[in-house]
Amino acid sequence: MKLSVNIDHIATIRQARMTNEPDPVYAALMAEMGGADGITVHLRQDRRHIQERDVEILRRVIKSRLNMEMAASMEMVKIALKYKPDMCTLVPEAKDEITTSGGLDVIMFSEKIQEVAGNLLAAGISVSLFIDPGIDNIKTCHRLGIRFVELNTGEYAKHSNSSFAALELEKIKKSATYARKLNFTLLAGHGLTYQNIKPIAAITEIEELNIGHSIIANAAFVGLKEAVARMKELLR
């Protein structure tokens, strides 16, 4: 199973002092040295962590795949078309949220998503939709012509120490099975840690996981290269 490392929180530390360190670009290179198969950054509309400069340089220097998470807006489309990441993952955004709080409502916003995705696909950029597990959500993604979906594991992660986690895990498994029948390339992520990752990693339909906070938190003690390597070992 592949691992894409989200380096947003390296930029969060930098922006806390409005200085030039730590540099997310250097973090990305260290993550690749630890075995990362891809680098994920979320260029938020409020620019609270990752900046356009980061996306520009990352596009030039990393050797793995660059996945840019973004709101489904034409402002973000223009930036994506300028820097050409390998993939754009459309996610919901709210100004007052600490982190992404749920999956994209692909049913309600299907027309807007189709417009944004169409512009990106026409430029040769792959498009993934970050969605909550559910058959109806996957059916909608299929109707929109999207071939990549990322299942939100946030609810599973939040309840991973309770019996409710089993229900969430089963929902993810059913969604993964259905997505595979429709020939989606399936990704997953949000809230995953070294402690709760194994049941998700055991779902064979999932090809790649996006993990950020837990890896960056552990990197504070063992270094980013080692933190990524440890997570990769769990995925094996």
Q: Which residues are catalytic?
A: 42, 69, 190
Please state, in angstroms and rounded to a whole number, the distance separating the CA atoms of residues 204 and 177: 9
Which among 31, 38, 33, 15 has a CA at the least distance from the CA of 85?
A: 38
Residues in the chain: 236
Give the residue carrying structure tokens 């993810």: 172
**Angstrom distances, CA of residue 131 to CA of 50, 176, 179:** 22, 12, 12
3-state secondary structure of 71: coil
Please state, in angstroms and rounded to a whole number, the distance separating the CA atoms of residues 5 and 206: 16
